[in-house]
């Protein structure tokens, strides 16, 4: 629930600007100090999205950041690229933005505030197949590169649609994680999503590929490895009760960094073993992480984007 609560906090801070028609984000001199909810590395760029529709882009390894014009001023929660030039951003008010020039400009693909929904994340598995995850169990799927979207509603119980936070694919199996232990899986030959039992009573905020398995994380330091073939769970002892919120892959088939509240960073290798734990001195909650080349980019609730050396971080 933490990520949803964070979105609600940012929504309240922006409520005075609420409208049924989109307004462009203000170009602000302090945009670099905004709170960002997602980061992505694409080609030679790093792009951050966050509160008040702010989009930042760096083409020089984080030395300088430029605010990119955004057609909406709502909180933006997720960003991904399906190719070098084509990318997607999602956010509040059922917002989907798209770019065809590598993130230099963005246009509205969907904006429907009357739906009263938040989109929490976006992920493309191929150039054509993509997913947008939202509140109330909404899973939007495109098979034609975003030209059209179909809706599937996932729920553990008939009376409650779990908010969905993240999706990942390993080999032929896709996994969606969500609120209140909502875990859904679908094989490449399966027509429908299946519910599998959660190993704990709480929300999962993210999932990352580690080797040929899923690394799943959530509240109170809960971190698990889920076998993509047998769907068996293995608990990873993190020795922390901090909420784990976001992750980034270390190499194509390597391990992952998992970050969260209290400035926690967990380093997990390609075998699913926790090898190192780091915590920032300020204890500021990390909200997003991405890796480009040998640099780790992090955003936090104090605002702005910081950098760390990947080699310094993962060395024992």
278 in a structural domain: no
What pLDDT, on the 0 to 100 scale, is given for residue 254? 80
Question: CA angle, corner 203, sides to 202 and 209, nearest 5?
Answer: 125
The bridge status of strand 76-81 relative to strand 66-68 is: unpaired
What pLDDT, on the 0 to 100 scale, is given for residue 228? 94
Residue with tokens 């230099």: 104
301 in a structural domain: no
Burial letters for 59-91: b for 16+ Cβ neighbours within 10 Å, e otherwise?
Answer: beeeeebebbebbbbbbbbbbbbbeeebbbbbb
CB-based contact 39:62 (threshold 8 Å): no
Instruction: List per-residue pLDDT tens for the chain, 316 residues long.
Output: 555 555 544 544 454 444 578 999 999 999 999 999 999 999 999 999 999 999 999 999 999 999 999 999 999 999 999 999 999 999 999 999 999 999 999 999 999 999 999 999 999 999 999 999 999 999 999 999 999 999 999 998 877 888 999 999 999 999 999 999 999 999 988 989 999 999 999 999 999 999 999 999 999 999 999 999 999 999 999 999 999 999 999 986 689 999 999 999 999 999 999 999 999 999 999 999 999 999 999 999 999 999 999 999 888 6
CB-based contact 275:269 (threshold 8 Å): yes
CATH number of domain containing 203: 2.130.10.10
293 in a structural domain: no
316 in a structural domain: no
What pLDDT, on the 0 to 100 scale, is given for residue 21? 85
Of residues 257, 249, 248, 253, the one with CA closest to residue 276: 257
What pLDDT, on the 0 to 100 scale, is given for residue 67? 98
233 in a structural domain: yes
Residue with tokens 């908010």: 163
What pLDDT, on the 0 to 100 scale, is given for residue 161? 85
DSSP string, 67-122: EEP-S--SPEEEEEESSSS-EEEEEBTTEEEEESSTTS--EEEE--GGG--BEEEE
Number of domains in the chain: 1
- Terminal CA-CA length for the chain: 32
158 in a structural domain: yes
- Strand ranges for 125-181 from DSSP E: 130-134, 138-142, 150-153, 164-170, 173-178
283 in a structural domain: no
Separation of alpha carbons 74 and 76, rounded Å: 6
What pLDDT, on the 0 to 100 scale, is given for residue 5? 53
The residue segments making up the domain with residue 66 are 2-24+33-253
270 in a structural domain: no
What pLDDT, on the 0 to 100 scale, is given for residue 122? 98
CB-based contact 314:267 (threshold 8 Å): yes
Q: Is the C-alpha dihedral spanning 98, 291, 309, 289 positive or negative?
A: positive
């Amino acid at each position: 629930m933490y990520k949803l609560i964070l979105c609600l906090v940012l929504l309240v801070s922006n409520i005075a600007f609420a409208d049924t028609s989109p307004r462009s984000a203000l170009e602000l001199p302090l945009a670099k100090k905004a709170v960002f909810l997602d980061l992505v590395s694409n080609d030679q760029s790093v792009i951050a999205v966050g509160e008040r529709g702010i989009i930042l882009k760096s083409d020089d390894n984080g030395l300088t950041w430029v605010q990119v014009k955004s057609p909406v001023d709502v909180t933006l929660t997720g960003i991904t690229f399906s190719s070098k030039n084509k990318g997607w951003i999602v956010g509040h008010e059922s917002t989907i933005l798209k770019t065809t020039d590598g993130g230099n400009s963005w246009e509205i693909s969907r904006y429907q505030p009357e739906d009263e929904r938040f989109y929490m994340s976006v992920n493309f598995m191929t150039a054509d197949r993509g997913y947008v995850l939202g509140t109330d169990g909404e899973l939007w799927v495109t098979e034609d590169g975003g030209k059209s979207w179909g809706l599937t509603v996932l729920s553990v119980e008939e009376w409650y649609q779990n908010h969905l936070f993240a999706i990942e694919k390993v080999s032929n199996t896709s996994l969606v994680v969500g609120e209140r232990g909502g875990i859904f899986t679908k094989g490449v030959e399966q027509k429908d999503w299946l519910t599998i039992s959660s190993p704990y009573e709480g929300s999962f905020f993210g999932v990352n590929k580690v080797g040929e398995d899923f690394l799943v994380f959530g509240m109170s330091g809960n971190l698990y490895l889920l076998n993509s073939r047998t769907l068996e769970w293995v608990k990873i002892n993190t020795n922390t009760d901090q909420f784990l919120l976001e992750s980034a892959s270390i190499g194509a088939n390597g391990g992952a960094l998992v970050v969260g509240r209290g400035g926690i960073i967990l380093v997990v290798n390609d075998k699913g073993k926790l090898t190192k734990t780091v915590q920032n001195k300020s204890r500021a909650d990390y909200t997003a992480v991405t890796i480009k080349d040998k640099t780790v980019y992090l955003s936090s609730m104090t605002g702005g984007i910081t950098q760390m050396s990947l080699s310094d971080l993962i060395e024992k």
